[in-house]
C-alpha cells in the first residue's frame, strides 16, 4: 500500500511525538519540523527537519524541503506550542509576542505555504492543535488562550475556504494532558484540576493523538471546521 505523507510542527516530544507514532502505525511517512530530534529510533519513514517555527524564513524553507521530498501532502498537523503564563497586568510584550508567534502565526505560515500544493492536489487534511482554554479562556493565560482561540478562527475560515477542493480542516482542543507542558504543576494543583474534570483524570498524549488519527482518516470524511475537545468533559 502506498504511504500517506504527513508534515507536523514540533513533534520531538509530548503530544506531537504521540501523533507521529500513531501516524507511523497508520502507514504514514512523516516529516517533523522541530528544533530537536527525537532520541529513539522510529524507523526509516520519519524525517527530521531542524526548524524554529518562530523564524518565518526558516519555517518556509523547511516546508519547501518537506514538500520537495514528500511530493504529496496528505496531512498537515500544526502542533508546536509554548506557554508564557502570567496575569495580564504584568504580561510583557515579549511574552505576548512569543506565544502568538509560535502558536498562531506559525500555523498561518504553514497553511499558506502548503495551500498551493493542497489545493492543486485536491485532497488532504489539516489538524490544528488548539486547547480548551481557546474555547473557555483562562485567568493567567491571556496570551495562550488568545493564540489558541485564534487557531480555532483560522481552522473554521480555512475549512470554508478549502472545502470545495476536498480539503478538510479541523482543530483538536486538549484539556489537561500529562506532558512536559503540564509537569510544572504541583500535585495539589493537579488534584484541584482533576476535581473539575467529569471523567476524574488527566488525559494522555496518546488520547489526543487518537483524535488526530481519526481526523486525518477517511473515518472523518464528512467532518470539517470542527473543534473536538479531548478534555474528559472539562468544557461542556
Ligand atoms: P511540549 O512542550 O511537550 O511540546 C511542545 C512541542 O512544540 C515540542 O515538540 C516543541 O519542540 C515544539 N516547539 C515549541 N516551540 C517551538 C519552536 N519555536 N520551533 C519548533 N518547535 C517548537 O507540549 P505538548 O503538551 O506536547 O504540546 C503540544 C501542543 O498541544 C501544543 O500546541 C500545546 O499548546 C497543545 N496543548 C497541550 C496541552 C497539555 O495539557 N499538555 C493542553 C492543550 C493544548
Q: What is the pLDDT of residues 146-165, one digit of tens each?
A: 999 999 999 999 999 999 99
Test site for ligand 1: of 8, 13, 15, most ligand atoms within 8 A of the Cβ: 15
Closest CA to 104 of 74, 82, 119, 125: 82
**pLDDT tens profile 59-69:** 999 999 999 99
**pLDDT tens profile 11-60:** 999 999 999 999 999 999 999 999 999 999 999 999 999 999 999 999 99
Ligand 1 atom at shortest distance from the alpha carbon of 12 = 9
Ligand 1 atom at shortest distance from the alpha carbon of 15 = 26
Least confident among 14-18, 101-105, 122-126, 184-188: 184-188
As a whole number, mean pLDDT of residues 132-152 equals: 98
Give the pLDDT of residue 182: 85
Burial of 180 (0-12, 13-18, 19+ CB in 10 A): exposed
Binding-site residues, ligand 1, Cβ < 6 A? 10-16, 34-35, 51-54, 79-82, 102, 129, 131, 174, 176-177, 179-182
Confidence of residue 185 (pLDDT cuts 50, 70, 90): confident
The alpha carbon of 78 and the centre of ligand 1 are apart by a number of angstroms equal to 10
Ligand 1 atom at shortest distance from the alpha carbon of 144 = 34
Q: Are 119 and 73 in contact (CB under 8 A)?
A: no
**pLDDT tens profile 72-98:** 999 999 999 999 999 999 999 999 999
Confidence of residue 217 (pLDDT cuts 50, 70, 90): very high
pLDDT of 184 higher than 90: no
The alpha carbon of 172 and the centre of ligand 1 are apart by a number of angstroms equal to 13
Q: What is the mean pLDDT of the chain?
A: 97
Q: Spell out the residues 6+ positions from residue 157 whose beta carbon is closer than 8 angstroms to its own.
A: none
- The helix (run of H) or strand (run of E) holding residue 150 is helix 142-162
Residues with catalytic function: 144
The alpha carbon of 164 and the centre of ligand 1 are apart by a number of angstroms equal to 31
| Percentage of the residues of the chain whose pLDDT score is greater than 70 | 100
Ligand 1 atom at shortest distance from the alpha carbon of 14 = 26
pLDDT of 176 higher than 90: yes
The full set of domains in the chain, from first to last, is: 4-230 (3.40.50.720)
Q: Are 148 and 134 in contact (CB under 8 A)?
A: yes
Give the pLDDT of residue 180: 87
Angle, alpha carbons 118-122-128 (nearest 5°): 45
Closest CA to 205 of 10, 17, 7, 9: 17
The alpha carbon of 1 and the centre of ligand 1 are apart by a number of angstroms equal to 32
Query: In terms of pLDDT, which residue wins out, 184 or 35?
Result: 35
Amino acid at each position: 500500500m502506498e504511504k500517506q505523507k504527513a508534515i507536523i510542527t514540533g513533534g520531538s516530544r509530548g503530544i506531537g511525538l504521540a501523533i507521529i507514532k500513531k501516524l507511523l502505525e497508520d502507514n504514514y511517512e512523516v516529516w517533523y519540523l522541530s528544533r530537536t530530534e527525537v532520541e529513539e529510533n522510529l524507523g526509516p519513514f520519519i524525517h527530521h527537519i531542524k526548524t524554529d517555527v518562530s523564524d518565518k524564513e526558516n519555517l518556509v524553507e523547511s516546508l519547501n524541503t518537506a514538500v520537495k521530498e514528500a511530493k504529496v501532502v496528505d496531512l498537515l498537523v500544526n502542533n508546536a506550542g509554548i506557554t508564557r503564563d502570567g496575569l495580564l497586568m504584568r504580561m510583557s510584550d515579549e511574552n505576548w509576542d512569543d506565544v502568538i508567534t509560535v502558536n498562531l502565526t506559525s500555523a498561518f505560515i504553514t497553511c499558506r505555504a502548503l495551500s498551493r500544493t493542497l489545493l492543486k492536489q485536491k485532497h488532504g487534511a489539516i489538524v490544528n492543535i488548539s486547547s480548551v482554554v481557546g474555547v473557555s479562556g483562562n485567568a493567567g493565560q491571556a496570551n495562550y488562550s488568545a493564540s489558541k482561540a485564534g487557531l480555532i478562527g483560522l481552522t473554521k475560515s480555512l475549512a470554508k475556504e478549502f472545502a470545495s477542493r476536498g480539503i478538510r480542516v479541523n482543530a483538536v482542543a486538549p484539556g489537561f494532558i500529562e506532558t512536559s507542558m503540564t509537569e510544572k504543576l504541583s500535585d495539589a494543583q493537579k488534584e484541584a484540576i482533576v476535581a473539575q474534570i467529569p471523567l476524574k483524570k488527566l488525559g494522555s498524549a496518546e488520547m489526543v493523538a487518537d483524535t488526530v488519527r481519526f481526523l486525518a482518516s477517511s473515518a472523518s470524511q464528512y467532518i470539517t471546521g470542527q473543534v473536538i475537545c479531548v478534555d474528559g468533559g472539562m468544557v461542556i
